[in-house]
Amino acid sequence: MDYSAIFSYMYTEIALAGVIVAVLLYDLIAGERGRRYFQTFVCLLMLFFVAGTVYPYHGGTADVFGGMYQYTPVAGIVKSILAIGTLIVFLQSDAWLSREDTRFKRGEFYVLTLSTLLGMDFMVSAGHFMMFFIGMELASVPMACLVAFDKYKGNSAEAGAKFILSALFASGLMLYGISFFYGTAGTLYFEDMAAKIDGSPLQILSLVFFFTGLGFKLSLVPFHLWTADTYQGAPTSVTSYLSVVSKAAAAFILTVIFVKVFPSVSDYWQLMLYIVIVLSITVANVFAIRQKNLKRFMAFSSISQAGYIMLGVICGTPYGMTSLIFYLLVYMAANLAAFGVISTVEQHSGGKTGIEDYNGLYRTNPKLAVIMTLALFSLAGIPPFAGFFSKFFIFAAAFEQGFHVLVFIALINTVISLYYYLLIVKAMFITPNENPVPAFRSDRGTRLSLLLCLAGIIALGIVSSVFDGIGLYSFGM
Amino acid sequence: MNILSLFPAIPLLMMLGLWLSRNKKQIHAVMVTGASLLLGLSIALVFIYLGMRADGHDSGMVLTDSLMWYKPLNIEYSVGVDGISVAMILLSAIIVFTGTFASWKMTDGVKEFFMWFCLLSVGVFGFFISVDLFTMFMFYEVALIPMYLLIGVWGTGKKEYSAMKLTLMLMGGSALILIGILGIYFGSGAVTMNINEIAALDNIPLSMQRVWFPIVFVGFGVLGALFPFHTWSPDGHASAPTAVSMLHAGVLMKLGGYGCFRIAMYLLPDAAQELSWIFIILTTISVVYGAFSACVQTDLKYINAYSSVSHCGLVLFAILMMNATASTGAVLQMLSHGLMTALFFALIGMIYGRTHTRDIRELSGLMKIMPFLSVCYVIAGLANLGLPGLSGFVAEMTIFNGAFMLDDTFHRVVTVIACTSIVITAVYILRLVGKILYGTCTNPEHLKLTDATWDEKLAVVVLIAAIAGLGLFPLWMSDMISDSVLPVISHILN
């Protein structure tokens, strides 16, 4: 076997494994003083990692391990996006990790998060259902530990339990579906399976099982019931990671599998997605209006955003895929900015995450309030912020494929979503408050991360080269 | 760089300047410099445009320029103006200029207020210079969203409710526009989003036009206060701070009429001819209903807001007549209504700033106390009811003249009904003037009040000069407009 192919095509995973080992070693070697610089160390490592892997070194696609692992330029771009998201989460998490009760386990947080990232990288590049499944499990088991990271807090432990139970259930369903695939097709390689998919009832059934499993990861309605509790209970940095990075990876691999393996039964999965999109967007929007806690609110907002993301999946065209990746990137910038603000306010106000606690935030912390507003505007799709462009592109992609009514429903829902995003803006700017969150100065990492997100929110849309670049590297468009 | 790109660029630079300024003096300096620059530039643009037309440039768009933005969707940043947009840009610049002075005495959150105000003007100017569907839509939404905070934070009365209602209704309209734009783009099979090129292709099948025309027309019609989607307008205008009411009623509502004309009717001409009767009925209701509603209001701003519904209804009514005279009248009405409603809101803001009430039952005899403001109020009222010599007469005369050219029964009947609004307007304007300006002042507190200060006088005088200018010398403006309306109308009719 030619090992050089492994190093030449799996460079992202190998480098990431190297980062994990380095972090583990640092945790062992560094003393009490050294650990104070843990965040700086990890962020620098991640920066080198991102800088080294962001450029797609190979133009074409290639198989490693006989097709178990597939190198594609578009997967490389997604991995870079995931890594950047992780870096931003790390930048935001120091205030929380320096707390008395978590200080001693900083290393664990970084290692666990990076392991999930590694799992997602494998998942994104999978060329075989087993590889995909292993990657997904590698991503979800450490995630459960992360959700329950504040284990002395009741709701964090509860969130962890809920997460692991529903994740296991989803995995079980998915594995059941995959076994049917094997039974009917005789292979689990993506490339070989496409020819064997003939739309027999058993295969359609297993397609549903498979989709249900990923639907849990993506928290689409009706598989979303774990989302709100988990998002609320998990530490805020973990929530933001969960809402952005893990969702992006799952959305991408779902498209890849649908397009590569199931083109012959596209009628079935398009219908399935159609229903799920309408449900996700509408139900989540209606529930988001009633929320009193900002983290729960963001949970429902991210369910509805996942519905919009699925609009890119349902097209199954290269243009749709480009729009999807662009949407993921823009969503990441906006959502991480919002969670960055939530996290820093929570840490500096003794754990305030209620929407009412944000009343009058603009008077005391104008910069944070403005960043939050811009992030929410971007999520709602208001120009000139990036969210407007990503929404427009994804709508155009779906419209082009003839989903006129679906786009219309999605558009009506953007107006509803604007309503509840504006409720937060109203709380921060308009509603008077006797004792708002006092003025404070965030730590350096958070400020840097918010600045990065802000740059993304403003520039990603106006500068067209990002979108063009994704299309160019992925599909030569 | 194209001169047109300066129009959105200057407010952007003003925002930067505001962000850097440290005290009220610097804020005012930035605003006055920027607004004067815009006003000067827009007047220059009129002369440049007239000069280019005299030199025999094409009667379509001039000063065109385009820059590829998003290749996969053929989205370009393309700009260009014709007589209609030049007139609208001039109007916007006048309102921004006078709006700045009308909010001179503002004390709370001045910097943020003007920053949002400038963002609003970026959207307005950008909308009028764009000829690309996407860019135009983007600027349209840029102009909408600052309204939420401008009304919500600096407004009066039930401001939170009004701000939310206004934003959601307008955003709902823009959702319709967005799907209409996608329908037009993919339906025409064009490889461009340029409005003129899509119009030249003219190959959207009629069955699709029938779907997209009502959607786009209603989408823009929401902003143009089309009945029954006008309900945001009275609440929104009544709650907004003075300068925002001015800009919103004066300019932003014109975006609706302009969009209906430029996108809905120009790009979907066949369906426009077929379905225009539905919207003619709706706009006739707007015109008459708005006027009647204004008669029974007691809040000065509500009266003016309903009057705006009536007058903006007339704009949509006129463009649906689909002949050159009525459409020229529509653009003149946009100009005229923009100027006089801005004047009204400015004066109401000044009166409210002194008396702290807008209820006409509590106001009387103001003529003796603040003669300058009162005389200006009378002038605004006379312009509103269409006195010859002022702009309202020119516009309404042209509209009804054009509407009467269509000699079938349906058009005759609706025109006659719409004409009654002139009388009703006279009723509520004269009642208002008589009630609050004349008679004796019953509230002793009001006797101590003072007349306008220099900044208020400047704002008011500029607006009155523009109204009188348009009323006394309408031809140079109406020639410029009808010159550009003709090709659009002939495209729609063919």
B69/A464 Cβ within 8 A: yes
Sign of the dihedral defined by the CA atoms of residues A239, A289, A329, B139, in that order: negative
CA distances for B181 relative to A318, A332, B71, B220, B272, angstroms: 22, 27, 17, 12, 16
Max Cα-Cα span within chain B: 69
Query: What is residue B347's DSSP assignment?
Result: H
Query: Which member of B72, B134, B159 has the closest CB to residue A319?
Result: B72
Burial zone of B25 (CB within 10 Å; 0-12 exposed, 13-18 middle, 19+ buried): exposed
How many CA within 13 A on the CB side of residue A210?
A: 24
Residues of B in contact with A400 (CB under 8 A): 186
Q: Measuring CA to CA, which residue among B31, B353, B96, B463 is closest to residue B243?
A: B96
> How close is the nearest chain B Cα to the Cα of A430, in Å?
5
- What phi, psi does A85 have (nearest 5°)? -60, -45
CA dihedral A21, A24, A28, A31 (to 10 degrees): 110
pLDDT at A1: 56
A419 and chain B: CB distance < 8 Å anywhere? yes
B409-436 and B391-404 are packed helices; what angle lies between their axes, rounded to 10 degrees?
Answer: 160
CA distance A65 to A79: 20
Q: How big is the CA angle at A347 (ends A345 and A348), to the nearest 5 degrees?
A: 65
* CB atoms near residue B291 (< 10 Å): 26
Which one of A422, A429, A471 has the shortest CB-CB distance to B72?
Answer: A471
> Could you say which residues from 387 to 446 on chain B have a Cβ atom under 8 Å away from some Cβ of chain A?
none
The CA-based angle B444-B450-B454, given to 5 degrees, is 165
- For residue B123, give both structure tokens: 């959207």
- At residue A304, the pLDDT reads 92
- C-alpha Rg value of chain B to the nearest Å: 21
Phi, psi dihedrals of residue B64, rounded to the nearest 5°: -75, 155
Q: Do A418 and B152 touch (CB under 8 A)?
A: no
Structure-block tokens of residue A429: 């700017």
Q: Assess contact for B467 and B383: CB atoms under 8 A.
A: yes
Identify the closest residue of chain A to B154 by CA–CA distance.
A430
Separation of alpha carbons A291 and A234, rounded Å: 17
Where residue A191 falls (left for φ over 0; alpha for ψ -120 to 50; beta otherwise) is alpha
Cis geometry, peptide bond prior to residue A384 (ω within 30 degrees of 0): yes
Distance from CA of A464 to the nearest CA of B (A): 6
Whether B168 and chain A come into contact, CB under 8 Å, resolves to yes
Cis peptide before A222 (omega within 30 of 0): yes
Q: Do B164 and A468 touch (CB under 8 A)?
A: no
Cβ of B202: how many Cβ atoms within 10 Å? 12
Task: Give the tokens for residue B223.
Answer: 């902003």
Alpha carbons A294 and A55: distance in angstroms, whole number = 37
Using CA atoms of A281, A258, A404, A301 in order, give the dihedral in degrees to the nearest 10.
20
The Cα–Cα gap between A129 and B441 comes to 86
Contact B178 A392 (CB under 8 A): yes
In this prediction, residue A376 carries a pLDDT of 93
- HSE of A340, CA atoms in CB hemisphere, 13 A: 37
Q: Return the H-helix or E-strand segment holding B299.
A: none
What are phi and psi for residue A359, nearest 5 degrees? -55, 130
> For the segment B139-166, what is each residue's pLDDT rounded down to a tens digit?
999 988 888 888 888 888 788 888 888 9
Asked if the Cβ–Cβ distance from B141 to A426 is below 8 Å, we say: no
pLDDT tens readout for residues A133-180: 999 999 988 999 999 888 888 888 889 888 999 989 999 999 999 999
**Is the previous residue joined to B228 through a cis bond, with omega within 30 degrees of 0?**
yes
> Using CA atoms, how far apart are residues B337 and A217, in angstroms rounded to an integer?
55
CA distance B456 to B458: 5
The reply to whether residue A464 touches residue B183, judged by beta carbons under 8 angstroms, is no
Q: Flag residues of chain B having pLDDT under 50.
A: none
Q: Residue B11: in which H helix or E strand, if any? A: helix B6-20
Closest partner CB to B175 (pick from A377, A412, A477): A412
User: Exposure of B52 by Cβ count < 10 A (0-12 exposed, 13-18 middle, 19+ buried)?
Assistant: middle
Tens-level pLDDT at each residue, chain A (477 residues): 567 777 888 888 999 999 999 999 998 888 778 888 888 889 999 999 998 888 777 777 888 888 888 888 888 889 999 999 999 999 998 888 888 888 888 888 999 999 999 999 999 999 899 999 999 999 988 999 999 888 888 888 889 888 999 989 999 999 999 999 899 988 889 888 888 888 889 989 999 999 998 898 888 888 888 998 999 989 999 999 998 998 899 999 999 999 888 888 888 889 999 999 999 999 999 999 888 899 999 999 999 999 999 998 898 888 888 899 999 999 999 999 999 999 999 888 888 888 888 888 888 888 899 999 999 999 998 888 999 999 999 999 999 888 989 999 999 999 999 999 998 988 888 888 888 888 888 888 899 999 999 999 999 888 888 888 888 887 766
Question: Tokens 């009717």 appear where?
Answer: B265
Hey, are the CB atoms on A464 and B134 less than 8 Å from each other? Answer: no
Q: Which candidate from B160, B168, B178 shows the least CB-CB separation from A419?
A: B168
Angstrom distances, CA of residue A429 to CA of A149, A372, A439, A457, B159:
34, 11, 15, 20, 13
- Residue B444 has, within 13 A of its CA and on its CB side, a CA count of 0
Binding-face residues of A in 365-384 toward B, CB within 8 A: 377, 382-384
Residue A315 near chain B (CB below 8 Å):
no
Amino acid in the structure at residue B20: L
Q: Do residue A418 and residue B167 have CB atoms under 8 angstroms apart?
A: yes
When divided into structural domains, chain B yields a total of 1
Are B176 and B220 spatial neighbours (Cβ–Cβ below 8 Å)?
A: no
Three-state DSSP string of chain A = CCHHHHHHHCHHHHHHHHHHHHHHHHHHHCCCCHHHHHHHHHHHHHHHHHHHHCCCCCCCCEEEHHHCEEECHHHHHHHHHHHHHHHHHHHHCHHHHCCCCCHHHHHHHHHHHHHHHHHHHHHHCECEHHHHHHHHHHHHHHHHHHHCCCCCCHHHHHHHHHHHHHHHHHHHHHHHHHHHHHHHHCCCEHHHHHHHCCCCHHHHHHHHHHHHHHHHHHCCCCCCCCHHHHHHHCCHHHHHHHHHHHHHHHHHHHHHHHHHHCHHHHHHHHHHHHHHHHHHHHHHHHHHHCCCEHHHHHHHHHHHHHHHHHHHHHHCCHHHHHHHHHHHHHHHHHHHHHHHHHHHHHHHCCCCCECHHHCCHHHHCHHHHHHHHHHHHHHHCCCCCHHHHHHHHHHHHHHHCCCHHHHHHHHHHHHHHHHHHHHHHHHHHCCCCCCCCCCCCCCHHHHHHHHHHHHHHHHHHHCCHHHHHHHHHHHCC
What integer pLDDT is reported at residue A410 of this predicted model?
92
Which structural domain range is residue B128 located in? 3-493
- Whether residue B175 and residue A411 make contact (CB cut-off 8 A), yes or no, is yes
Q: Which residues touch A32 (CB under 8 Å, ≥6 apart)?
A: none
Cα A263 versus chain centre, distance? 25
Distance CA B397, CA B386 (A): 9
Phi, psi of A80 (to 5 degrees): -65, -40
What ipTM was predicted for this assembly?
0.90
- B145 and A CB contact within 8 Å: yes
Pairing mode of beta strands A69-71, A62-64: antiparallel
pLDDT of amino acid B1: 60
Pairwise CA distance, residues A345 & A338, whole Å = 11
Residue identified by tokens 């009654």 is B420
**Which residues on A lie below 8 Å from B148 (Cβ)?**
422, 425
Which residues of chain A does B142 touch, with a Cβ-Cβ cutoff of 8 Å? 383-384
Please, which residues 44-83 of chain B have a Cβ atom closer than 8 Å to chain A? 69-73
CA–CA distance, A91 with A112 (Å, rounded to integer): 16
